[in-house]
Amino acid sequence: MQKPLMNGWHGLINHPMRFPSLEKPVIQHIVYRHAEDAAFLWLQRDRLVRVSDACLIDIQNIDQKIHAHINGLHAAGQAGWETAWEALQQFTEPGEMFVASAVAFALFDDEVPFLALLSMVDAEPVTRRGFLSACAWCEERQVIPVMKRFFQSESLQQYGIGIAACALRRLNPGKVIHFALTQNDPGLQVCALRATGELGLQEHAHHLRRIFADQKGEQHFWAAWSLVLLGDRGPALEQLCRVMQDTQHPCQSRALSLAIRALPFDRSGDYINNMSEQDGLSRQAVIACGILGAPESIPWLIHCMSNASLVCIAGDAFSRITGVALDKEGLITEPPCIDPEDEDGISDDACWPDANKIDQWWQSHKTTYVSGQRYLLGRKLDREHMLSVLESGTQAVRRGVALDLMLSGHHSFLCNTAQS
């Protein structure tokens, strides 16, 4: 199937779409305010789901505010849609795309508005994230009919959007995945490869192995990543282990997060030891210690706290293993003057661990930890604890727990921690 030219849709961007049945008397400045505030709040939400110390309740609170503004635009009918659409045309940013898309899902059941939105995505790729966010955020009854239309089209772009939207909602798109994995379109293949892993679609593992063997670059990586999620512990996992030690690879941190969890405990420890001895990989080794949660790594983490470039992430790793809030327990100190070359990765509000106090704490508590076991926030990593952390933990910990739940077989798919 050939991808049709999208230029035919571009005229829709400037075409005034009117829906007389939706016209209602409105106060225009209030409608504008709804659109503006909703876009601003979405940007806050988009940042929030990526912030390490944000919690699920924070996401839920901001979602309530977004709902209120989208409902206001919905209630305004035609004026709400036109206001959101005009803002998108003016700014062409993902926040405005989210708002226009959310309003379209709420108001329309025909394809014209969505073709216009997709033409904007095609013309301004930065807005794709906003459209997909709306696909994941809106009610299923509003989104599914539109996704079905996408899968009936001849546009590979629509196929990719539909697959990505289903993956975000953790819905199986069915035979569409098979179609996408067999197309000679790298972007569509990457989308399908990632979705296959996130959704736990074991029936497509043979396609992933073929792509892993035949392709390079993004396709090769995402085939390996998804195969590991599906349980492959052979060449795919070895590839992730290579990537996690490659500081130039764009997916290094993603590979590290999955590989350390998927490897047998002892092999993870061996990789961490090797990375700790290699120039340029000490940072990755410290992060990996927090991921693995081995209490036997804590003395080395305390040692790393004497290194200005590692002190903060070593403190984070210690807290992830033990559950100790360094600031609340008085285990921090005033940061010294730092060489600018050592400031990389240190945020202005980062806690500065006091290595001596932390060592004293560890000497008093280490007997409660068992070597050879994984710990998270002071408890052994079992199903009950993981589910509790998924509900109440910070985003950084929740993302990791989602991987652990799937790798351990407790979840058949990868939980989307960006959803409330």
**In terms of domains, do 248 and 104 share one?**
no
**In terms of domains, do 116 and 242 share one?**
no
Q: How many CA atoms lie within 13 A of 348 on its CB side?
A: 0
Q: Does residue 380 lie within any of the structural domains?
A: no
Q: Number of folded domains in the chain?
A: 2
Among residues 182, 198, 214, the one where a domain terminates is 198
Q: Does residue 137 lie within any of the structural domains?
A: yes
**In terms of domains, do 161 and 239 share one?**
no
Q: Does residue 2 lie within any of the structural domains?
A: no
Q: Does residue 361 lie within any of the structural domains?
A: no
**In terms of domains, do 17 and 114 share one?**
yes
Q: How far apart are CA 97 and CA 135, in angstroms?
A: 11
pLDDT in tens, 365-413: 999 999 999 999 999 999 999 999 999 999 999 999 999 999 999 999 9
Please give the C-alpha separations between residue 414 and each of 40, 122, 168, in angstroms, as whole numbers. 29, 28, 10
Q: How far apart are CA 121 and CA 130, in angstroms?
A: 9
Q: How far apart are CA 375 and CA 320, in angstroms?
A: 8
Q: Can you give the pTM of this predicted structure? A: 0.90
**In terms of domains, do 194 and 239 share one?**
no
Q: Does residue 219 lie within any of the structural domains?
A: no
pLDDT in tens, 115-169: 999 999 999 999 999 999 999 999 999 999 999 999 998 899 999 999 999 999 9
Among residues 198, 222, 255, the one where a domain terminates is 198
**In terms of domains, do 31 and 176 share one?**
yes
Domain range for residue 262? 233-284
Max Cα separation, the chain? 73
Q: Does residue 148 lie within any of the structural domains?
A: yes
Which tops the pLDDT comparison, 284 or 339? Answer: 284
pLDDT for res 351: 84
pLDDT for res 420: 85
Residue 110 predicted with pLDDT over 50: yes
Q: Does residue 291 lie within any of the structural domains?
A: no
Residue type, 234: G
**In terms of domains, do 163 and 278 share one?**
no
Q: Does residue 342 lie within any of the structural domains?
A: no
**In terms of domains, do 149 and 248 share one?**
no
